[in-house]
Structure 1
Amino acid sequence: MSETIEFTRGELVYEDLKKRIISLKIEPGTPLQEAEITKAYDASRTPVREALARLSHEGFLVRWGRGYRIRSFSPLEVKELYEVREALEKMAVRLTIETSSPEKIKTIETQLEHYQSFIESNDINAFNLHANSFHMTIAQLSGNQNLLEQLTTIHEKVRLISARYLLRSESIQNAFLEHSRIYNAILRGDVVVAEAAMREHIQEVIEFFRAQA
């Protein structure tokens, strides 16, 4: 197998496994053995080993014996990750208000218009991806590339956590209302309310996982 084919196969394994992990199609705590993954994807050991190592480095997998298992986030880990996220997200809304034009900010409104379809279909996985886009759009509008890069890294892990959080009843409806409050405050240029709405939105997830402990 050529190096190009191996690289392509490794990317396929990496992307597909990450998608299945984030969507909870593979449950947290599930063990992953290199030999089984190699067989499932009809790949050689090298690209599979590299894909698993990459997912481990990004925080989706943890070592388990001679293999890996899907990472399970403890309430404390969720709290610490979301505390960092809160600080960055509040900075993003402040910078967006201070530096972005009203015309660019209004592009967020088109994302909110799609929420009703998710409420009706209750498609958790699709909404999780869409909700992530809402936050990343704000990060992009902040105009701070370093902030955007840090939030991009954090939101990969956040999607794994929020997938569990969104399984609650009426969670999509609640998320829509919370996102709407954040957007309307940004549109008005109200930094205090926008930051407070973002904090409340993030703290709800922390409280949810604390209650599960």
Structure 2
Amino acid sequence: MNFVFNPPATVSVPVLGSSARFPVHRIYCVGRNYEEHAKEMGFTGREPPFFFLKPADALVVVNAGETGAMPYPSLTQNLHHEIELVVAIGTGGRNIKAADAYQHIFGFAVGLDMTRRDLQNDMKKQGRPWCIGKAFDQSAPIGPITPAALAGDVHHAEIALQVNGADRQRSNVSKLIWSVAETIEHLSAAWELQPGDLIYTGTPEGVAAVVRGDLLEGAIAGLGDLKIRIS
């Protein structure tokens, strides 16, 4: 097959304990999926889940034991961190029931949903899509994927983020408003999930701004950590 230019390489994430890599199809993100975070953003209650997307090439892939680099993005004066459990889909499907959701999960990873909060808020005020605040270049750092069989009880794991050694976010995955299984059920009713999809499942309270030079260290019990320096 001939192309008018060389297509980009497939975006992929390393898999712990394997030389094979996880090829990425789409990145889905769940909004306001921890109650305390919803409150700090001015919302309350268990609203129906909603989703937004990031492009696959927004990933900043960080190998185990390394510190990744993320350049401070353009157009913003208010870059926020959001630590999240990431679910890697290994078997696709449509209208997946929550009871069957775990059969579709390949593994889990630690991720950051970086947000140009000032741009997002401006778009909200104008009633416009806020892709510019969420789906920008290098907005989705991620660590290696841990296969589900090796991840332990990730659904009750502590999730935390430190900035320059000080706690910013600390909670437990069990506090998700919509569980991983429920999220997959809702998401697969709207899109047919594919092998290679990543789901960023939402962030707990404590989101705040970072600046150039800050070191972000995120961790989820059983999944290792994710280190990013803002440059």
TM-score when scaled to structure 2?
Answer: 0.23
Q: Which has the higher contact order (CA 8 A, sep 6+)?
A: 2
* Larger fraction in helix: 1
Which is greater in Rg?
A: 1
* Larger fraction in strand: 2
